[in-house]
Amino acid sequence: MPKLNENYLNLKESYLFAEIAHRVNDYAKANPDKKIIRLGIGDVTRPIGSEMISALHEGVDAMASSETFKGYGPEQGYDFLRDAVVSYYKENGVSINADEVFVSDGAKSDTGNITDLFDKDNVILIPDPVYPVYVDTNIMNGRNITYIDANAENNFLPMPDKNVHADIIYICSPNNPTGAAYNHEQLKEWVDYALANDAIILYDSAYECFITDETLPRSIFAIEGAKKCAIEFCSLSKTAGFTGTRCGYTIVPKDLKFTVSTGEEMSLNAMWNRRQTTKFNGVSYIVQKGAAAVFSKEGMAQCKENIAYYQENAKIIADCLGKKGIRYFGGVNSPYIWFECPNGMESWDFFDYLLKNAQVVGTPGAGFGNNGKNFFRLTAFGNRENTMEAMERINKLF
Ligand SMILES: *Cc1c(COP(=O)(O)O)cnc(C)c1O
C-alpha cells in the first residue's frame, strides 16, 4: 500500500464557492421570478482585445506549415516574451534581466510550486485574510504557518514585527480579498525586515495593473534591496483577461542567494530554473504569442480600456458604500471592495441577508480567514448595468 501524503488531511475543506453556489441555487429555485446579480466572482468577464486575438491567431497559423511550426519551446519561455516583460518593467522604472523572467501558465501554479525550493522547517508568515493558495500549498507540504493579522486597525496592511523572526513571507499587493495596497515606505519596511532576518518575500503582484495612484510601487523590485530578498509573481489573468487563456511570469533575481548548511551558496534563480526544466515543459507558443501582444503599445492600450471599465465599476460600488457611511477598503488600485458588514453582522449572515433582500451575491470575508469574519467582498468584474442596479438595490436597503 502506498503511504499517502497525510498532510492533505490537514487541509480545510474548501467549501467557500461551493457553499455560495448552493445557497444561491436554493434561493433561485424558491424565487424563480427574482433577478440575481452576482458580484462575488474573482474572474474577469470582458473579452480579450483584438491585438491579442490576432497574435493568438498568428500563433495558430504558425503551427500549420513546416517552415513556422513550433514543437517544444524553452521551458523558461520564448525570448520574445521574456524581453517584452523586461521592457514592461523598464517602463515602470524597474530594471530586471531576461534570464530572471520565467514564463508560466499562471501565478497560481507558480505561487504553489515555489514551495518546492524550501525545506519543511521554516517560519512562514502569511497574512489573514488571504488568497487561500499560499496557505493550502504549505499545508500540503506539512509546514506550519504563522499568521499575521490584517484588520481594520492596520488598514489591512500588516507591518513586520521586529521581535518575531521569519524565513518566508507572503505578500499580495494590491490584495485579494481586501483591495489594500502597500506604499513605498511600507514595502521598504518589509524589505528591510527580510534583509535583517535573511528571509525571503514571496510577492504576488497579480493586480499591479489596477494601481492608479502613481506613487504606489507596482513591483517589489521598485524597492531598494528587494532583489536580494524577493521573488515576484505576476500574471496576465487580470491584466489582459487571460484567466482562461493562461499565462503568467515569475521574476527570480540572480542576486537571490543563500548560504546553506553545507556552507555552499545556493541561487534561487538556478534552483527555479532546474525545477522548471525538470517538471515543466513551457507555455504553448500560441499563448506566448498572444501574451507578447499584451506588451505592445496597441495591446496594452486595449488591456487598459478593459481595466478602466472595471475601475469605473469599482468606483460605483465604493461611492455607494461611502454614501451609506459603510467602512470599506480597496475600490481604488484594486478591483475588490472589502467592507464591514453593517450592524455588526457576521459575513455569512450578511450574505443571506443581501441575497434575500437585494438579490445581490458577494463573497463572505470568513472564507478568506478569521479576520474576514465581519467583512464582505464585492468585485468590479461584473458588467456596468448589473453593477449599477446592484448598488441601487443596496442603496434602498440601508
Ligand atoms: C487571480 C489571482 C492570481 C492569478 O492567478 P493565475 O493562475 O495567473 O490566473 C494570482 N494571485 C491572486 C491573489 C489572484 O487573485
Domain boundary among 266, 295, 324: 295
Q: Provide the mean pLDDT of the chain.
A: 97
In the prediction, which pLDDT does 183 show? 98
Here the cell at position 16 is 467557500
* d(C-alpha 377, C-alpha 391), whole Å: 14
How many angstroms is it from 392 CA to the middle of ligand 1? 30
Cα dihedral angle (188, 232, 217, 150), rounded to 10 degrees? -70
Domain encompassing residue 260: 50-295
DSSP secondary structure letters along 226-288: GGGTEEEEEEHHHHHS-TTT--EEEE--TT-EEE-TTS-EEEHHHHHHHHHHHH-----HHHH
3-state secondary structure of 102: strand
Predicted confidence band at 398 (pLDDT cuts at 50, 70, 90)? confident
Cell numbers for 259, please give them: 548560504
Same domain for 95 and 207, yes or no, is yes
Using left for φ > 0, alpha for ψ between -120 and 50, and beta otherwise, residue 390 falls in alpha
Ligand 1 centroid to residue 126 C-alpha, Å: 16
Query: Which pLDDT belongs to residue 60?
Result: 98
271 and 356 assigned to the same domain: no
Distance, in Å, from the CA atom of 258 to the CA atom of 266, rounded to the nearest integer, reads 5
- Are 258 and 351 in a shared domain? no
> Within this chain, do residues 14 and 150 fall inside the same structural domain, yes or no?
no
Q: Domain boundary residue among 295, 321, 354?
A: 295
3-state SS assignment for residue 174: coil
Separation between Cα atoms, residue 255 and residue 166, nearest integer Å: 20
Contacts (Cβ under 8 Å, ≥6 apart) of 281: 72, 75
C-beta of 204 in contact with ligand 1 (< 6 A): yes
**pLDDT at 14 exceeding the cut of 80:** no
Query: Are residue 37 and residue 82 in the same domain, yes or no?
Result: no
Residue 2 lies in a domain: no
Residue 42: per-residue pLDDT: 86
User: What percentage of residues in the chain have a pLDDT greater than 70?
Assistant: 100
Asked if the model's pLDDT at residue 13 lies above 90, the reply is no
pLDDT for the residue 15: 78
Is residue 327 one of the residues assigned to a domain?
yes
Based on the fold, state whether residues 227 and 111 are members of the same structural domain: yes
- Our count of domains for the chain comes to 2
Note whether 212 and 328 are same-domain residues.
no
What pLDDT, in 10s, does the model give residues 83-130? 999 999 999 999 999 999 999 999 999 999 999 999 999 999 999 999
Ligand 1 pocket member 130 (CB < 6 A): no
Question: Which of 295, 329, 360 marks a domain boundary?
Answer: 295
Query: Which residue from 69, 126, 97, 136 is spatially nearest to 273, judged by alpha carbons?
Result: 97
Which residues 6+ apart lie within 8 Å of 35 measured at CB?
A: 359
State phi, psi for 330 to the nearest 5 degrees: 80, -155
Do the domain assignments include residue 215? yes
User: How far, in Å, from the CA of 253 to the mean position of ligand 1?
Assistant: 21
165 — pLDDT class (breaks 50, 70, 90): very high
CA–CA separation, 373 and 129 (whole Å): 9
| 35: CATH | 3.90.1150.10
Q: Quick one: pLDDT at residue 41?
A: 81
Q: Are residues 159 and 201 in the same domain?
A: yes
Q: Does 307 fall in a domain?
A: yes
Quick one: 208 and 355 in the same domain? no
* Single-letter residue type at 327: R
Q: How far is the CA of 43 from the centre of ligand 1 (A)?
A: 9
The answer, yes or no, to whether any atom of ligand 1 lies below 6 A from the CB of 347, is: no
Residue 82 lies in a domain: yes
107 lines ligand 1 (CB under 6 A): yes
- What's the one-letter identity of residue 303? C
Question: Are residues 55 and 43 part of one domain?
Answer: no
pLDDT at 252: 98
Strands 257-259 and 265-267: antiparallel
97 Ramachandran zone, left/alpha/beta (phi>0; psi -120 to 50): beta
The answer to whether residues 291 and 302 belong to one domain is no
Alpha-carbon dihedral of residues 235, 238, 242, 248, nearest 10 degrees?
A: 0
CA 349 to CA 365: how far, in whole Å?
11
**What are 316-348's pLDDT values in tens digits?**
999 999 999 999 999 999 999 999 999 999 999
207 and 356 in a single domain? The answer is no
Cα 241-102-274 angle, rounded to 5 deg: 140
Instruction: Say if residues 57 and 287 touch (Cβ distance below 8 Å).
Output: no
Write out pLDDT tens, residues 233-277: 999 999 999 999 999 999 999 999 999 999 999 999 999 999 999
pLDDT for residue 12: 87
> Separation of 362 CA from ligand 1 center, angstroms?
19
The pLDDT tens digits of the residues spanning 167-195 come to 999 999 999 999 999 999 999 999 999 99
> At 177, which CATH number?
3.40.640.10
- Asked if the structure places residue 1 within a domain, the reply is no
Question: Which positions ≥6 away from 9 have C-beta within 8 Å?
Answer: none
Please report the DSSP string for 40-99 in residue order.
---S--SPPPHHHHHHHHHHHHHTTSTTT---S--TT--HHHHHHHHHHHHHTT----GG
Give the position, in ligand 1's atom list, of the atom nearest the Cα of 110: 7
pLDDT, tens only, 213-239:
999 999 999 999 999 999 999 999 999
Residue 345 lies in a domain: yes
- Residue 200 in domain: yes
